[in-house]
Each structure stands twice: as C-alpha cells, then as structure tokens.
Amino acid sequence: MTLPRHNIIIAVTGASGAIYSKLLLDKLVTLKLQTEKVALVLSDNAKIIWKDELENQKYADYPFKEYDHKDFSASFASGSSDYNTMIVCPCSMGTLGRIANGISGNLITRAADVILKERRKLILVTRETPLNMIHINNMKIVTEAGGIICPANPSFYSKPQTIEELAITVIDRVLTIAGFNFEKFQYNTLINKKGNN
C-alpha cells in the first residue's frame, strides 16, 4: 500500500505544554516516509516556554525548515502553496482567538487563515483549563469554519508510566486525525483482553 505524503505546517505557540510539540516533532521524524515537506514555526513565547519546561533549545535541531513567525514571505502564507495540513501544538487561547476572528498578525495566524479559506485541514491542540465562554465561542467559530479542535487531553487506556507515555496519547490522536498511518495503542485490544465485563 502506498502511503500518502503530507505537506504539513507545525506551529508552536506560547501555551504551556512544550512536551506535546516535542513529541509531535519526534514522531514526525519517524514518519518521514509519509511527509513531503514539514514547515516549523515557533512564536517567541513558544521558545521561552520550551526552554523553561524542557530545559533545552532543541527545537532548532529538527530536520525541518524553520520559519520566523514574522516571515510573511513563506510560501504557506498564500493559498497557492501546496501545504495541505496545519497543526498548532500547543495552541494558546490568544492564538485561538486570533484565528477565530481572522486576525493574521503573524505567520502562524496567517497560515491558519489560509488553511481554513482553502478548505484544508487545520488542527488546534488547545491547552487551557478551565474555559470561559470566550474560549468556547472561539472554538465554535473555528469548528464552523472547518477547523478541528483537539484539546490536549491525554488518555489512560494504555496505562502510561511516564509523562512522555501519557503525552504521546494526545500526539497519536492528533496525527491520526491528520491522516498519518502508524502503529498505536488500540482501545479495542484492551477490551478484548479484559473480556466483556
């Protein structure tokens, strides 16, 4: 079977949860046969939070082309580009609000606007709790515009033993939604092992 090749934009914003973006980038390295191009954009706050939470700056070490968040000359700032998927991980509520209201103040929000207007796949891995009505309404607007809200809510079916094992349950879900094929934990396997109790 020939697997699809993805042209994908990964954006990292200034919400807590740098581990999610790290694991997403790690996983994309292992799925390189399913990608044609991977573009990476980090906000200034994303870099600060990555360094604070992960105690390194290894976001610069990945084999993906990194774009400055102020660089509107990037090809995916235009609908004529061939990027078909964008994942914002983690997605701050500020970024969500700007995307929901069409405010293209940087490359991240402009690229998201392009993905939506071209009817391509936008996945926002939101990271906030609790939510106020502004957040909820913004999620509704993005969903109605064709985006997918995928909160960073990990699952426990696989009995994760480490923070990384817990966080990867979110990333596996995100990449499945994005259309990647890979081996992952199956809830049905757990049910079959336990029987129909």
Residue pLDDT, tens place only, 163-179: 999 999 999 999 999 99
Confidence of residue 1 (pLDDT cuts 50, 70, 90): low
Is pLDDT at 193 greater than 80 in this prediction? no
The predicted-structure confidence for 14-50, as pLDDT tens digits, reads as follows 999 999 999 999 999 999 999 999 999 999 999 999 9
CB 171 within 8 A of CB 24: yes
Side chain identity at residue 26, one-letter code: D
pTM surpassing 0.95? no
Q: HSE (CB half, 13 Å, CA atoms) of 23?
A: 20
How many angstroms separate the CA atoms of 45 and 91, rounded?
12
| CATH class of the domain whose range is 6-194 | alpha beta
Confidence of residue 191 (pLDDT cuts 50, 70, 90): very low
Domain ranges of the chain: 6-194
50 Cβ partners below 8 Å, 6+ apart?
12, 18, 21, 22, 42, 56, 57, 59
